[in-house]
Amino acid sequence: MTVTEYGKALSVTETPIPGLVVFDLPVHGDARGWFKENWQREKMTGLGLPDFGPVQNNISFNDAVGTTRGIHAEPWDKWVSVATGRIFGAWVDLREGPTFGAVYTTELDPSKAIFVPRGVGNSYQTLAPDTAYTYLVNDHWSPTAEYSFLNLADETAAIDWPIPLEQVQISEKDKNHPRLADVTPIGPKRILVTGANGQLGRALRDQFGDADHIEYATRENLDLTSPDLATARRWRDYGTIINAAAYTAVDTAETPTGRRDAWAANVTAVTALARIATDNGITLVHISSDYVFDGTSDTPYTETDPIAPLGVYGQTKAAGDAIVATVPRHYIIRTSWVIGDGHNFVRTMATLAERGINPTVVADQTGRPTFTTTIAAGIQHLLDTRAPHGTYNITGTGQPTTWYDIARAVYQHTGHDPARITPVTTDQYYANAAGPVAPRPAHSTLNLTKLETTGFTTPNWHESLKLYLTRERT
């Protein structure tokens, strides 16, 4: 390395391949030799590098000029640099998408490094003897991982190797890699949706679809309370877990058995998922509830208001929130009065109306109903836009209402007389309950300002209700 390469400022250069970025590294030297910080997490993430969490450091030593290796695309990220010598590096995007086949080349010496995202093919040719090529990776090698390879001589990529390939050392395996037309692209990291048969799980199926990288899990094929959960999947292949599994029987949670089951599903299982997400760099999406609040606020609850759950269900959800908040990449979705494809208040009221029943409905709890389609769309928006991690309220918009007024709206929209419904207080409604009754927050309206700053506005709950009832009748 020449003296002119000493003292460069730490800086970043973007490339035509998304996520592939080159770093100039400060190198300090004198007559004794030189020193550099080859990887410095705080400084490099401060310049926009993903906090990719390396777990292994590898070094490939090359004796001769012209040693050529690649093109290999692994399902993990790499931080590539040179300890001694110099290389010509070539990178080809082998990920699914519009930049598949894009090529970038540059030379690396000890004063430069490059971040190679998952699925980008990596290759190099040594330009100096005794070159030590080093790379950090954020996963351990696995024979079950999905790899892709490209032939070094591929005519479409048309890499302009400094030393012709017929004059250099190449392994037989590298010589026999496929041309670009025959390469299997590396798909995006997997998305796992738990609780896939629940009301929200069904909406998430509709929202995210059936792409190969989307996996829907139920209690039957993935036990979140199993002690073997950490080895149930190759978790490094996953980029996101959307945990739509939960215990939601708020009254039964007040019983001894219900309390045990609620803590198992809403806390123990969430703790296991949080550990998996933290250890594997996964984004964890966790569904929370208005029940984490005591309902005494006169204004809509924000994401930062202190929690004060009244009952067992709310306590388990609050505990789950606190655990998920420790995951580096997380979204806690607080919602209320959820209505979707399954047993719910709106469907019950519509059935009662058709059967000629005149119900009594609670009129002293205030909030906004939230349809599962709204929650699913909001989750996808946060993920797609890479909104800042944290807690977000997602409910329908519109004026806060009561269960009594929602019931009246259901009767009206289904062609029945809303006057058939009688308003009662919560205490009156549950006065003759056969079992324990969980305390409900009297005020459950959630503030939506933070969500709206990300560019997502939820639909008015009145319109969502009309659409829901229309679909129910068809």
Residue 168 sits in a domain of what CATH number?
A: 2.60.120.10
- Higher per-residue confidence, 236 vs 143: 236
CATH of the domain at 372: 3.40.50.720
Q: pTM score, two decimals?
A: 0.89
The values of phi and psi at residue 215, to 5°, are -125, 130
The pLDDT tens digits of the residues spanning 36-84 come to 999 999 999 999 998 898 999 999 999 999 999 999 999 999 999 999 9
pLDDT reading at 4 higher than 60: no
- Higher per-residue confidence, 432 vs 266: 266
Q: Quick one: 87 and 216 in the same domain?
A: no
Do residues 165 and 190 make contact, with C-beta atoms less than 8 angstroms apart?
Answer: no
Q: Quick one: 447 and 329 in the same domain?
A: yes
Span 406-415, mean pLDDT? 96
- HSE-up of residue 414 (Cα within 13 Å, Cβ side): 26
Could you tell me the residue range of the domain that residue 122 belongs to?
Answer: 3-182
Catalytically annotated residues: 72, 135
Q: What percent of the chain has pLDDT over 70?
A: 99
- Higher per-residue confidence, 203 vs 141: 203
Q: Quick one: 238 and 106 in the same domain?
A: no
Q: Quick one: 98 and 226 in the same domain?
A: no
Task: Say what the pLDDT of residue 432 is.
Answer: 87
Q: Quick one: 141 and 113 in the same domain?
A: yes
Token representation of residue 305: 């208001």
The values of phi and psi at residue 352, to 5°, are -65, -40
Span 236-261, mean pLDDT? 96
> Comparing 45-54, 141-150, 298-307, which segment has the lowest mean pLDDT?
141-150
How many CB atoms neighbour CB 228 within 10 A?
A: 7
Q: Quick one: 107 and 240 in the same domain?
A: no
Q: Quick one: 106 and 158 in the same domain?
A: yes
Element (H, E) at 274: helix 269-280
Last residue of a domain, one of 182, 206, 241: 182
**Confidence bin at 5 (pLDDT 50/70/90):** low
Task: Say what the pLDDT of residue 2 is.
Answer: 41
Q: Quick one: 246 and 123 in the same domain?
A: no
Span 331-341, mean pLDDT? 97
Last residue of a domain, one of 182, 217, 237: 182
The count of domains in the chain is 2
Helix residue ranges per DSSP H, 285-344: 312-324
Q: Quick one: 27 and 174 in the same domain?
A: yes
pLDDT reading at 199 higher than 80: yes
Do residues 466 and 413 make contact, with C-beta atoms less than 8 angstroms apart?
Answer: yes
pLDDT reading at 401 higher than 50: yes
Q: Quick one: 34 and 109 in the same domain?
A: yes
Gap between the Cα atoms of 278 and 272, Å rounded? 10
> Comparing 178-182, 431-435, 440-444, 452-456, which segment has the lowest mean pLDDT?
431-435
The pLDDT tens digits of the residues spanning 258-297 come to 999 999 999 999 999 999 999 999 999 999 999 999 999 9
Q: What percent of the chain has pLDDT over 90?
A: 91
Q: Quick one: 165 and 198 in the same domain?
A: no
Last residue of a domain, one of 135, 166, 182: 182
Q: Quick one: 195 and 172 in the same domain?
A: no
